[in-house]
């Protein structure tokens, strides 16, 4: 390799967006609800609750109510296309399915979002064998062409038995390599139907179904300096940057203690404008959650916040993580795994407004071979004497 780069090694880019608005803002109120609704696959929820040595029953019930999900093993994808399934589950509620033990950058993987789209990510050989229409993945390796995305819309009118498109799709999805272990959860629109009927349906078809409940882990920090978010009490005139707020929330979720002064070991210190709060409880719930669960959880937390006093509980935060190996992150946006599979959002709930942070990974495609340097950062020497240079005009010659 000529001219390898030896000085600059930039880190992969990642996207972090931030917005802040009040609860009653009618135009922009759509933003935080849209962030929650579009994020179909939620794997983990971390809630920071100040001044809560023991989580009250109303809150701990809201974590575990209606939160069971099912693990279905060795399910072929053609099962998601059968008309019985679509009529009973896809049209009568919100159905989420995600592959649980595949990696998006090396294995074949699939997922089904509540709007009825089946997203399949396959490698080149499987794609050529399936012969379904798909596109080259925009985020994962593009040269050599290896990863293809196939999107199948089960809502279309031509997607019924007897039509040629349907027959082609179902015979292709019967491919032996397209059998995965799925996490499945279903929330019916009608309150009378039990959500576990989806587990019964797959069990009756002969698949192994396991019921799983969310895993809850709590950790408490005793005396914590919470950053002050209200802007009317700035004595120093220093506002907290949004990135620093996110870093502080990260420190509390991981259990990192922040000192008052920087030491030789660590320069990250307490925020300058802070309120001392006792007993910050970090609740970690791991499971497979629907968007409706998150919406009701946020509603419960908001009403809990209004019941407590502003001095002991200035604000609280909710972080919702997506699965690092899910094929889609928000809506139909493709998700990539470069050095991490970030796709999460954080809501900082205050009494009068909400801060929304959205983090997702890089959208640049990977490179198999590094880009050649071509001496770009070295200045080329200026050539003062060139053969074809025009002679300088010294003005009129002296006659």
Partner 1 sequence: MKQLESKYWYLKVHMDYERKNLPFQLTAELVKVVIVGAIDIMFGELSSCLPLDVLKFNEKTGIVILRVPKDNYAKVRAALTVCPSMRVGAVDVPVIYTTQQASSCLLSLAGPERSIV
Q: How many whole angstroms separate alpha carbon 161 and alpha carbon 170?
A: 9
**Under rule CB under 8 A, how many of the chain's residues touch partner 1?**
49
- Under the criterion CB under 8 A, does residue 353 sit at the interface with partner 1? no
- Under the criterion CB under 8 A, does residue 290 sit at the interface with partner 1? no
Q: How many whole angstroms separate alpha carbon 45 and alpha carbon 63?
A: 9
- Under the criterion CB under 8 A, does residue 230 sit at the interface with partner 1? no
Residue 285: name the closest of 201, 215, 334 by CA. 215
Kindly identify the residues of this chain, within the stretch 12-41, that bind partner 1 according to CB under 8 A.
14-19, 31
Contacting partner 1 (CB under 8 A), which of 260, 264, 309, 383? 264
Kindly tell me which of 84 and 339 has the beta carbon lying closer to partner 1: 339
The number of helix segments (H) and strand segments (E) in the chain equals 8, 15
Written as six digits, the tokens of 194 are 């039990």
Q: Which range, of 144-152, 231-239, 253-261, 369-377, touches partner 1 by CB under 8 A?
A: 253-261
Contacting partner 1 (CB under 8 A), which of 192, 236, 267, 379? 267
Contacting partner 1 (CB under 8 A), which of 63, 89, 341, 354? 341
Q: How many whole angstroms separate alpha carbon 249 and alpha carbon 236?
A: 22
Minimum CB separation of residue 219 from partner 1 in Å reads 11
Q: How many whole angstroms separate alpha carbon 306 and alpha carbon 55?
A: 16
Q: Which range, of 54-62, 259-267, 366-374, 385-393, touches partner 1 by CB under 8 A?
A: 259-267
Contacting partner 1 (CB under 8 A), which of 138, 170, 196, 286? 286
Rounded to 5 degrees, what are φ and ψ at 171?
A: -70, -35
Sign of the alpha-carbon dihedral angle for 272, 276, 279, 281: negative
Bridge-partner residues for 355, per DSSP? Answer: 20, 348
- Under the criterion CB under 8 A, does residue 227 sit at the interface with partner 1? no
Contacting partner 1 (CB under 8 A), which of 37, 92, 284, 302? 284
Kindly identify the residues of this chain, within the stretch 85-104, that bind partner 1 according to CB under 8 A.
100-103
Contacting partner 1 (CB under 8 A), which of 22, 33, 339, 364? 339
Q: How far is CA 31 from CA 27, 28, 241, 298, in A?
A: 9, 6, 21, 14
- Under the criterion CB under 8 A, does residue 321 sit at the interface with partner 1? yes
- Under the criterion CB under 8 A, does residue 46 sit at the interface with partner 1? yes
- Under the criterion CB under 8 A, does residue 300 sit at the interface with partner 1? no
Q: How many whole angstroms separate alpha carbon 386 and alpha carbon 374?
A: 23
Q: How many whole angstroms separate alpha carbon 120 and alpha carbon 148?
A: 8
Q: How many whole angstroms separate alpha carbon 39 and alpha carbon 329?
A: 6
- Under the criterion CB under 8 A, does residue 73 sit at the interface with partner 1? no
Contacting partner 1 (CB under 8 A), which of 40, 113, 346, 350? 346
Show Cβ contacts of residue 37 under 8 Å, excluding neighbours closer than 6 positions: 291, 295
Q: How many whole angstroms separate alpha carbon 75 and alpha carbon 210?
A: 13
Q: How many residues does the chain have?
A: 399
Contacting partner 1 (CB under 8 A), which of 2, 4, 9, 24? 9
- Under the criterion CB under 8 A, does residue 121 sit at the interface with partner 1? no
Q: Which residue ranges make up the site for partner 1 (CB under 8 A)?
A: 8-11, 14-19, 31, 43-44, 46, 100-103, 242-243, 246-247, 249-251, 253-256, 264-268, 284, 286, 319, 321, 323-325, 339-342, 344, 346, 358-359
């Amino acid at each position: 390799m000529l001219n390898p780069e030896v000085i600059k090694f930039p880190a992969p880019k990642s996207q972090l967006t931030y917005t802040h608005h009040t609860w009653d803002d009618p135009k922009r109120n759509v933003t935080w609800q849209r962030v929650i609704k579009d994020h179909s696959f939620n794997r983990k929820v971390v809630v920071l609750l100040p001044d809560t040595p023991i989580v009250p029953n109303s809150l701990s019930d809201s974590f575990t109510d209606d939160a069971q999900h099912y693990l279905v093993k060795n399910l072929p994808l053609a099962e998601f296309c059968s008309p019985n399934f679509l009529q009973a589950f896809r049209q009568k509620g919100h159905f989420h399915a995600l592959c649980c033990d595949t990696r998006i950058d090396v294995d074949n993987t699939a997922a089904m979002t509540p709007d009825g789209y089946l997203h399949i990510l396959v490698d080149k050989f499987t794609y050529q064998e399936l012969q379904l229409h798909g596109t080259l993945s925009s985020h994962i390796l593009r040269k050599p062409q290896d990863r293809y995305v196939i999107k199948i819309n089960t809502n279309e009118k031509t997607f019924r038995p007897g039509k040629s498109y349907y027959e082609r799709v179902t015979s292709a999805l019967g491919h032996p390599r397209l059998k995965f272990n799925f996490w499945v959860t279903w929330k019916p629109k009608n309150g009378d139907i039990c959500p576990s009927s989806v587990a019964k349906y797959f069990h009756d078809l002969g698949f192994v179904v396991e019921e799983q409940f969310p895993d809850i882990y709590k950790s408490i920090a005793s005396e914590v300096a919470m950053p002050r978010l209200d802007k009317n009490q700035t004595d120093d005139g220093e506002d907290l940057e949004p990135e620093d707020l996110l870093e502080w929330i990260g420190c509390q979720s991981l259990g990192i203690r922040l000192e008052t002064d920087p030491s030789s070991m660590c320069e990250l210190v307490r925020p300058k404008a802070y309120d001392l709060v006792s007993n910050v409880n970090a609740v970690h719930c791991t499971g497979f959650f629907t968007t409706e669960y998150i919406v009701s959880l946020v509603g419960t937390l908001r009403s809990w916040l209004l019941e407590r006093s502003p001095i002991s509980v200035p604000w609280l935060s909710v972080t919702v993580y997506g699965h690092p190996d899910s094929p889609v992150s928000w809506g139909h946006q493709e998700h990539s795994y470069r050095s991490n599979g970030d796709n999460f959002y954080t809501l900082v709930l205050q009494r009068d407004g909400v801060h929304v942070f959205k983090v997702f990974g890089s959208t640049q495609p990977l490179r198999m071979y590094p880009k050649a340097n071509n001496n770009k950062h070295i200045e080329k020497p200026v050539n003062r004497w060139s053969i074809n240079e025009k002679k300088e005009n010294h003005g009129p010659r002296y006659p």
